[in-house]
A and B are shown apart, each in its own frame.
Chain A
Amino acid sequence: MNRITAGRRHPLARYAVLLLALGLLGGFYTLAAPTSERADAAIASGRADDVAEGRKLFEQSCSSCHGLNAEGTANGPTLVGVGAAAVDFQVSSGRMPLANPGAQAPRKPTAPWVNDDTIRQLGAYIQSLGGGPVAPGPEQVDPAKGDKAKGGELFRANCIQCHNFVGSGGALTQGKYAPPLHDATPTQIYEAMITGPQAMPVFNDSIITPEQKRDMIAYIVGVREEPNPGGAGLGRIGPVTEGLVAWIVGISLLALAAIWITAKKRQAHQ
């Protein structure tokens, strides 16, 4: 009797088998799922005509709001001329496809069919419609190549009135908001600047040069990775949380201390 046969009677064995079966089932399903099949097939066949593939993707996932020819409908704007950079920003950050209309599209996990290839194909299709800004290369967004201090000055002059002093986000009117920049990749930050998604204005290359954009990315990425030397950062949103802590932690602790100190009473002489 070897170890495996002995283990068959182990009380945990049935769970192990169940787990294995579930894992296999899930694995097969993932491989056989229709979306990945299509994407994989396109790449495998080597005939990945990006524009044509992108158009297919567009018709499936985007056209209900943006129109069959991206001409726009009552529910979504035209995408002619927005460029591949806008596609990459919106789709890679999960904002598009939109789950439900609201004041603003929130960042969310990407749709299952989204990957680098599908984004490229979709971008190629949109780019073919009327040009527009294209996604930056890795050189252009490398935080290590930027000057943090210069970027910080530009960031303070152009971004923080909405995004907060470290990019923690802030409120805008009517339910709109400037999202926090904690999860934005350098590429997405760059693309947001050149395409001006949602409530954000466009900062084109004549306003802020590509080098300056890289400096800003260096600052944003640098500051968000910087530890808080003074202890817990309290959300890095300024004095509101500080006041909360002063009352909830400070005054509560001191009130408790006062109660404790005075709990021992000197009994009056009878």
Chain B
Amino acid sequence: MSTGTVPKPIAGTSSFLDDRLGAGNFLKRNLRKVFPDHWSFLLGEIALYSFIILLLTGTFLTFFFKPSMGHVVYEGSYEPLKDVTMSEAYASSLHISFDVRGGLLMRQMHHWAALLFVAGMMVHALRVFFTGAYRKPRELNWLIGVGLLTLALLEGLTGYSLPDDLLSGAGLRITEGVAISLPLVGTWITFFLFGGEYPGEDVISRFYSLHILLIPGILLALISAHMVLMWVQKHTQMPGKGRTNTNVVGAPFYPAFMAKAGAYFMFTFGVIALLGTFAQINPIWLFGPYTPADISAGSQPDFYMGFLEGSLRLMPAWEINVLGFTLPLSVLIPALVPMGIIMTGLALYPFIEQWVTGDRSEHHVAERPRNNPHRTSIGMSAITFYGVLWLLGANDEISSFFHVSLNWTTYVGRVLVFVGPLVAYIVTYRICLGLQRADAAVIGHGVESGVIKRLPHGEYIEVHVPPNEAIEAHVRGKTPVPMIAGTDADSDGIPPKGMRGPLGKLRAKMSKAYGGEKIALDDGHGHGDEHGEHAEVGPGKDDKSLTH
């Protein structure tokens, strides 16, 4: 460090810090940390940077927001609400929007950043899922991610309720409906949460503490843990030339990756600022103050709660009475079941997959989605399930915009929510196999060169050339999906230990279906001996040269 060229003030300060913090060694080790490069690896950073913007804009908003449900008469500058009685929370939100310099921009950026925070988490989680980047040793980090997503939904719910306008009141009312429908504890929880009969006078200040202190605190801690684990375990990389399970190919953190990450923060900030400036979000002044008796058409939650709204709208009005207690299934099922399926499914998937494949080895090279067709199909199935519920959460807007009957959107949705995932599974599976075949064709036949040759007997063929080295390495990064060895019964017809009970049999069956190589890269094309040559000019290949 202390070469003659370093100016004394810098050398002095750095050795001072180095002696006390050991920072030099730490930096030397970590600044050269290599990060693999792929655009989809940046998607999680959308959430990270949105969170930073949320903290900054949120802090600004707390300077002016009054989390109180005390009644005041509005005397601010928005004329259509003049002299209207409202809560202090709503009045201060209006004050932020109309009378605080830059307040509306901050409010809008905060809200857009919140939407991008959750959306960024979702696309990031999908990337991790579809490339199998959650596999050992990253299962714990995956669980942290699921926890982050759940907390983000809670954070969004509490934030949505704070301005105390008519829309947030509608959301609060549904929250109360769900809480009170819980068997046995519902009434207790509701009275505890709202401090008495709905809406009470406490819920805004309680949500405020949760929204600005408790949940962001946990989010911050979990995000840090998420980042540290990622740093320690190193990032997964896409299959490619020279990329193995024991190395990381990419750019060092300093300077290349740092510049990219910094630029991406600026992009995120820019997009949020643009949206906050040019697209109006949650115009609370148009909704008016919350009154439990009023409700507006088109009352919707923010998009990440849309799937819950949709399941509530799809649900038939079932309820059962047991021993004098009413069990409102029409609220309980939509509130708990889809969320349970999705969140529990997300959390358990890495472990279920391990159980099915028997795979206990470490993976640092990501899988291309097509190369694990069952996983990809399960993922698309889940997306369809979620998507149908999400879409149906907006069925009134769909009905009014596209002029279709509201009832029919519900009937169709009730069928689609079950049939859609099934169809998505089958279609995705076939697409994955098709893409694997296309890969095999690239390896087996090469790629079209654009050179047309005429053969002596008059036939025209296109000359195929070996694929680009990088592409070939990327394609050849495929490994068969692991499966439990020796699931088959031995010669005496006795299955191996652990595969005997009904569960064991199921496991063996699932493992066989899930694992293994569906379409091998190098066979089925009858010219394995010609590898490395690939030029398809010889006779006898005419059928293939025409189709590929």
In the complex, per-residue mask of B297-333: 1 if CB is within 8 Å of any chain A CB, else 0 = 1111111001000000000000000000000000000
Contacts of B256 in A (CB 8 A): 266
B113 smallest CB distance to A (angstroms): 9
Determine whether the beta carbon of A177 is less than 8 Å from that of B300: no
Chain A residues contacting B287 (CB-CB under 8 Å) are 165
Interface string of A254-270 (1 = CB under 8 A from B): 11011101110110100
Of the candidates A156, A172, A228, which one forms a contact with B406 in the assembled complex, judged by CB atoms under 8 Å apart? A172
Report the separation of the CA atoms of residues A169 and B296 in the bound assembly, to the nearest whole angstrom: 10
Interface contact A160-B297, CB-CB below 8 Å: yes
Whole-angstrom CA separation of A242 from B403 in the bound complex: 21
Within 8 Å by CB of A230, from B104, B288, B301, lies B104
Residues of B within 8 Å of A232, CB to CB, are 278-280
Q: What separation, in Å, do the CA atoms of A226 and B264 have in the docked complex?
A: 37
Segment at the interface with B among A24-32, A88-96, A243-251? A243-251
The stretch among B77-85, B209-217, B225-233, B349-357 that forms the contact with chain A is B77-85
Mark A143-172 against chain B: 1 for CB-CB distance below 8 A, else 0.
000001100110011001111111011111
Tell me the nearest residue of chain B to A249, going by C-beta: B275
Q: Which residues of A contact B (CB under 8 A)?
A: 103, 148-149, 152-153, 156-157, 160-166, 168-175, 177-178, 219, 222-223, 226, 228-234, 236-240, 242-243, 245-247, 249-251, 253-255, 257-259, 261-263, 265-266, 268
A250-B260 Cα distance, complex, nearest whole Å: 19
Q: Are B80 and A242 in contact (CB under 8 A)?
A: no
Please tell me which stretch of B394-402, B424-432, B460-468 contacts chain A, meaning at least 4 of its Cβ atoms lie within 8 angstroms of it: B394-402
B297 and A171: CB pair below 8 A?
A: yes
Q: Would you call B275 and A160 a contact (CB within 8 A)? A: no
Complex alpha-carbon distance, A231 and B98, angstroms: 14
Min CB distance, A108 to chain B, in Å? 13
Check B288–A239 contact: CB distance below 8 A.
Answer: no
In whole Å, how far is A70's beta carbon from the nearest beta carbon of chain B? 30
Residues of A within 8 A of B119 (CB): 246-247, 250-251
Stretch among B38-46, B128-136, B373-381 lining the A interface = B38-46
B167 at the interface (CB under 8 A from A): yes
* Whole-angstrom CA separation of A253 from B274 in the bound complex: 11
Contacts of A172 in B (CB 8 A): 406
* Residues of the A chain whose Cβ atoms lie less than 8 Å from the Cβ of B267: 253-254, 257, 261
Q: Which of A233, A249, A258, A265 contacts B264 (CB 8 A)?
A: A258
Q: In whole angstroms, how far apart are the Cα atoms of A127 and B13 in the complex?
A: 95
A171-B399, A262-B37 known; A254 vs B249 contact (CB < 8 Å): no
Q: Is the CB of B81 within 8 A of A173?
A: no
Q: Would B46 and A254 count as touching, CB distance under 8 A?
A: yes
Residue contact B400 to A243, C-beta cutoff 8 Å: no
Flag whether B295 is at the interface (Cβ < 8 A).
yes
Chain A residues with CB under 8 Å of B342's CB are none
**Contact between A163 and B277 (Cβ–Cβ < 8 Å)?**
no
User: Taking A160-B296, A171-B396, A173-B407 as contacts, is the C-beta distance between A254 and B291 under 8 angstroms?
Assistant: no
Q: How far is the CB of B287 from chain A (nearest CB, A)?
A: 5
Contact between A261 and B397, CB atoms less than 8 A apart: no
Collect the chain B residues with CB atoms within 8 Å of residue A149's CB: 79-84
Interface size class of chain B, counting residues whose CB lies under 8 Å from the partner chain: 35 or more
In whole angstroms, what is the CA distance A11 to B46 when docked? 60
- Which B positions have Cβ atoms within 8 angstroms of A? 37-43, 46, 79-84, 97-98, 104, 108, 111-112, 115-116, 119-120, 123, 166-167, 241-242, 249-251, 256, 260, 263-264, 267-268, 271-272, 275-283, 286-288, 291, 293-303, 306, 394-397, 399-400, 403-407
Return B114 CB to nearest CB of chain A, in Å. 9
Q: Is the CB of B116 within 8 A of A268?
A: no
CB-defined A-B contacts under 8 Å, sample of 27: A149-B80, A149-B83, A152-B80, A156-B296, A157-B291, A160-B295, A165-B298, A170-B297, A170-B298, A222-B80, A228-B283, A231-B108, A231-B276, A231-B277, A231-B278, A232-B278, A234-B280, A234-B281, A236-B283, A238-B167, A239-B301, A242-B281, A254-B43, A257-B264, A261-B264, A261-B267, A262-B39
- A250 to B112, alpha carbons, bound, how many Å? 9
Q: Which residue in A178, A222, A242, A266 is a CB contact (below 8 Å) of B297?
A: A178
B116 to chain A, nearest CB (A): 5
Query: Are the CB atoms of A157 and B260 closer together than 8 Å?
Result: no
| 6 extra interface residue pairs, beta carbon distance < 8 Å, beyond A171-B396, A173-B406, A242-B302 | A230-B279, A231-B280, A236-B283, A243-B115, A250-B112, A261-B42
Contact B286 A253 (CB under 8 A): no
A265 to B123, CA, bound (A): 23
Contact B280 A229 (CB under 8 A): yes
Which residue of the partner chain, among A230, A249, A268, contacts B242 with CB atoms under 8 Å? A268
Choice from A226, A240, A250, A268 contacting B394 with Cβ under 8 Å: A240
Q: Whose C-beta in chain A lies nearest to the C-beta of B277?
A: A231
Which among A157, A160, A243, A268 has the greatest number of chain B C-beta atoms within 10 A? Answer: A243
A238 with B298: in contact, given A156-B288, A249-B275 (CB under 8 Å)?
Answer: yes
Q: Whole-angstrom distance from the CB of B276 to the nearest CB of chain A?
A: 8
Find chain A residues with CB under 8 A from B295 CB.
Answer: 160-161
Q: What residue of chain A has the Cβ atom nearest to residue B116's Cβ?
A: A250
Partner of B263, one of A165, A173, A239, A261: A261
Contact A245 B406 (CB under 8 A): no
B299: chain A residues within 8 A (beta carbon): 238
**Nearest-CB distance from B88 to chain A (Å)?**
18
Q: Are B404 and A175 touching (Cβ within 8 A)?
A: yes
Does the CB pair B297–A163 fall under 8 Å?
yes
Min CB–CB distance B21 → chain A (angstroms) = 31
Kindly state the separation between the CA atoms of A168 and B108 in the bound complex, as whole angstroms.
21
Query: In the assembled complex, how far is the CB of residue B383 from the closest CB belonging to chain A, in whole angstroms?
Result: 13
Assembly CA distance A268 to B250 (angstroms)? 8
Closest to B264 in A: A261
Name the 5 nearest CB pairs between A and B, nearest first. A170-B297, A243-B303, A230-B280, A246-B115, A171-B399
Q: Which of B82, B167, B260, B271 contacts A261 (CB 8 A)?
A: B260
- How distant is the Cα of A240 from the Cα of B396 in the complex, in angstroms? 10
Q: Which of A169, A239, A253, A265 is in CB contact (< 8 Å) with B37? A: A265
Chain B minimum-CB-distance residue to A155: B288
Q: Check B275–A245 contact: CB distance below 8 A.
A: yes
- State in angstroms the CA–CA spacing of A238 and B301 once bound together: 9
Min Cβ gap B120→A in Å is: 7
Nearest CB of chain B from residue A222's CB, rounded to whole Å: 6
CB of A229 within 8 A of CB of B104, answer yes
| Chain A residues within an 8 Å CB radius of B46 | 251, 254
Q: Would you call B400 and A171 a contact (CB within 8 A)?
A: yes
When distances are taken between beta carbons in the complex, the residues of chain B under 8 Å from A261 are 39, 42, 260, 263-264, 267
When the two chains form their complex, are residues A152 and B84 in contact, meaning their CB atoms are under 8 A apart?
yes
Most A CB within 10 A of own CB, among B38, B242, B295, B303: B303
Report B-chain residues with C-beta under 8 Å of the C-beta of A229. 97-98, 104, 280
Q: Given the known A-B contacts A157-B294, A171-B396, A171-B400, are A254 and B115 also in contact in the complex, defined by CB atoms under 8 Å?
A: no
Residues from chain B with Cβ under 8 Å of A237 in the complex: 298, 397
